[in-house]
Amino acid sequence: EEVEEEEKREEMEIGLESLANKYGLQKIMDTVARMSMSKKGLKHKAKEEN
């Protein structure tokens, strides 16, 4: 199980490194932050509707 998790982490790092090389690390970080804020907003909105 740990080996599988390590492989997934390595794949993710390779993908992130590729994106950072193409778009720049700051652009990736900004996008992740925006996605995170968007998700938090959706969770907050769902709580309000219930």
Domain ranges of the chain: 2-49
28, with CB counted inside 10 A (0-12, 13-18, 19+), is middle
Q: Quick: pLDDT tens for 1-50.
A: 788 888 999 999 999 999 999 999 999 999 999 999 888 776 655 566 55
Q: What is the pLDDT of residue 1?
A: 74
Tell me, yes or no, if the pTM score tops 0.85: no
pLDDT for position 49:
58
Q: How far is CA 13 from the centre of its chain?
A: 11
Q: What is the pLDDT of residue 24?
A: 98
